[in-house]
Structure 1
């Protein structure tokens, strides 16, 4: 048994495998494109590296693509076989494997709970901590995120390799609760401890955006560009935040430039890249920006994934892309797929039933909530879609536009009031109000 630089106890006897796995964990923490290669090196040096197989499984599962589930399943089988060959491995390894098993059974929340409980006496052990944070992020469990990060920070040794990364996660959890001053302090401390902490940089940018501090937000992101531009496609997401800030300032030409060069420089179908691009283009159009033919590649990509409801958050963004160009057949098929998903019993099926179906019908122009109770229920259930408050704001804005188009000015006002509990009033919401003939947030 040996303890690595991030406090995980593994059964590997290979120094090369341990060094490579530490590099992989650093890559996960800092969103580096070299992470996959480091993981390959780990498993080449020790084909029975249990944690390496578990991480490979989670890495594929978290991409939320139906075709990658078999790869994650194979990784679980490899991890189990490696445990057997390692005579049961270590407790840490067994917990990681159990969590992957539960996640593959269809519950990210339960998998996160396995990790949290398994490491309750060492809550700052970084890999299980980060995996739990990511799983809870994808399920919209902000309360769980904050509970876990608070416990980790309470046990944190700031001299360890993971300290800055742990604080960055805590900053994000605080921000998602609207505790902006605390989040700002934690995020800035995280980056001071670990300048490669892109998640901490990201958490601080969220604070500036949600408080309406656009100039500070732009300065923060431009000042840290050297760090986040080295990321994998997370750099596209950081650029998305920069684009939102410029949009609020009315720098429309700059937003288009950021979109083309940094948000959508590659025509990928990664759901995170699609969410960035779809929601930014939609916001630009609501702000009166002519986006040209930029919807074309998004709608074509979405059409190819029109039957994939692995993650409702992803499916709804794909739906919005097809709606934008009037792709009726694709819209109808994806709405039908989300309806069918809602009949299942796993975690995402429940998300589909509680918010995916009504939001899909709203985006498709088939339905709009008819009364205050339904509006409140939709807004309350939005967290279950997953992602951040900033990402889900796209759905809040779409809801406001839909009910406003139906002539319900009071409902638009109600949505604006709910939105302002977390986000400062902004030009985009005012644009939507004007487009539906109201002016209620002034």
Structure 2
């Protein structure tokens, strides 16, 4: 599926002729760097290259001192939400990179180092600005484009995500490697800005150019969900499953989207089957925080719908304790806390919350500030709901509902918090809380059109609080 990733890889001269000169003199390193960014953007493993992770190993082996290769790895670790500014080894890696860049890097590479280190140290908004400034001057710099796109996603900056691709897409020639993937990235930015027609056009354009573009499939799934086209969405995901299911980490997320379409129709067994067959197994293989988020989200949504998913399914999310001091983005922390609580691992959940509260005082990091103002109340509100303290959950989450976008993720992902707040208000015994429900239902319908799940929430409200 991704064998083209190994075709015509750029050596040092190839990068230079593209206006993206490298300081390394190793042609092998230059080619492994090209192979790395191609597989990252396409979310695929190229078998002839040994796959993405083996490519990263070879990237380092080919020239351990290469500035751009090391910078790519630092950016990847930070944006992968696994490494943080409080990881001593990662801190030393960043310090050494900065020092070496001053001695050996060219001007473009120094800007890349600055952006990657800013992100790694928790200055997420400045990092995104720096990557954006790089693509202003180097519009075909795919590493800066990809990292900018991801940074805006984690920052909850819908407009930034759209604008970063919008300003460079017409500066690419269609015969450049990876050109088609720009349309899928652009589609997602447009969708998050509510420009659904344009987003679908771009997603279709990407898929017509390359049907294996699993990010474009993901963008189209978002459009169909937000437009309430659930039957069409479900059919699209199953019809194209063979095209996107090999897209390593994003495949888990695309299965998550497929499960959401089933939940909209109340097809809970189908959603559970996807969790059992795909999502949980993929998490066990990857043990990735991003896969954990999808797994936790699906089980929580099903329980909001009154489905007994069983504690054993929650316990399939293994080895979560190692993440409790990570705090890369609070979006992850909230899903982690939910999973730990539902597993019955109350001691680890308590330690996570204490760690998160301590972290909120690290005001040099953007995520710490967001965690203090939005993340902690959101975390507490979700756990209050889990403990059936619906009044407190509603009172905690309602005041911050318009700010939750700042924790990152997509509108579809953050809908889990919207649903939890609505359910809290419905279940509340306090009239001042449950009377907020009609307003919240209207707000959700404005964002997610023709939602069958929203109709069920409205029916539940009317049944519990008749006029």
TM-score (norm: length of structure 2): 0.85
2:48 is aligned to none
CA contact (8 A) 1:168 1:186 kept: yes
Q: 2:393 aligns with which of 360, 368, 372?
A: 368
Q: Deviations over 1:169-218 (max 9, x none)?
A: 11000000111110000111122223342211210111111112122212
* In structure 2, distance between residues paired with 1:422 and 1:210: 7
1:310 is aligned to 328
SS at match of 2:247: coil
Q: Does 1:118 align with 2:137?
A: no
1:13 is aligned to 25
SS at match of 2:263: helix
Q: Does 1:44 align with 2:61?
A: yes
Q: 1:404 aligns with which of 421, 426, 444?
A: 426
Aligned-CA RMSD value: 2.6
Of 280-289 and 63-72, more deviation after overlay is shown by 63-72
CA contact (8 A) 1:124 1:155 kept: yes
Q: Deviations over 1:316-344 (max 9, x none)?
A: 00111133345443343333333333333
CA contact (8 A) 1:124 1:166 kept: no
CA contact (8 A) 2:20 2:138 kept: no
1:286 is aligned to 304
CA contact (8 A) 2:22 2:106 kept: yes
Give the direction of change, closer, same or farther, for the CA distance of 1:56–1:304 in structure 2 (3 Å limit). closer
Of 234-243 and 212-221, more deviation after overlay is shown by 212-221
1:45-124 pair list within 5 angstroms:
45-65=62-82, 69-80=87-98, 82-83=100-101, 88-124=104-140
* In structure 1, distance between residues paired with 2:23 and 2:186: 30
2:229 is aligned to 213
1:329-340 pair list within 5 angstroms:
329-340=347-358
Deviation for aligned residue 1:133? 0.8
How many corresponding residue pairs?
Answer: 435
Q: Deviations over 1:367-388 (max 9, x none)?
A: 33449xx73x412111111111
Q: 1:276 aligns with which of 270, 280, 294?
A: 294
Of 421-430 and 177-186, more deviation after overlay is shown by 421-430
Of 338-347 and 390-399, more deviation after overlay is shown by 338-347
CA contact (8 A) 2:183 2:206 kept: yes
Q: Does 1:136 align with 2:155?
A: no
Q: Deviations over 1:112-146 (max 9, x none)?
A: 11111133133342110110111111111112112
Structure 2 unaligned regions, length at least 5 = 1-11, 46-50
Of 259-268 and 21-30, more deviation after overlay is shown by 259-268
Q: Does 1:382 align with 2:407?
A: no
Deviation for aligned residue 1:161? 1.2
Deviation for aligned residue 1:163? 1.6
1:184 is aligned to 200
Of 299-308 and 388-397, more deviation after overlay is shown by 299-308
CA contact (8 A) 2:83 2:90 kept: no
Of 109-118 and 420-429, more deviation after overlay is shown by 420-429
2:41 is aligned to 29
Q: 2:377 aligns with which of 358, 363, 377?
A: 358
1:158-177 pair list within 5 angstroms:
158-177=174-193
CA contact (8 A) 1:180 1:207 kept: yes
Of 4-13 and 394-403, more deviation after overlay is shown by 4-13
Q: Does 1:428 align with 2:440?
A: no
2:6 is aligned to none
SS at match of 1:368: helix
* In structure 1, distance between residues paired with 2:77 and 2:185: 21
Q: Deviations over 1:41-97 (max 9, x none)?
A: 12222223211101111121123235794454344345345546xx63322211111
* In structure 1, distance between residues paired with 2:381 and 2:65: 49
Give the direction of change, closer, same or farther, for the CA distance of 1:76–1:192 in structure 2 (3 Å limit). farther
* In structure 1, distance between residues paired with 2:373 and 2:323: 22
Structure 1 unaligned regions, length at least 5 = none
SS at match of 1:233: helix
Of 127-136 and 88-97, more deviation after overlay is shown by 88-97
Q: Deviations over 1:399-437 (max 9, x none)?
A: 111222224333122222222222124233344445556
* In structure 1, distance between residues paired with 2:18 and 2:215: 17
1:222 is aligned to 238
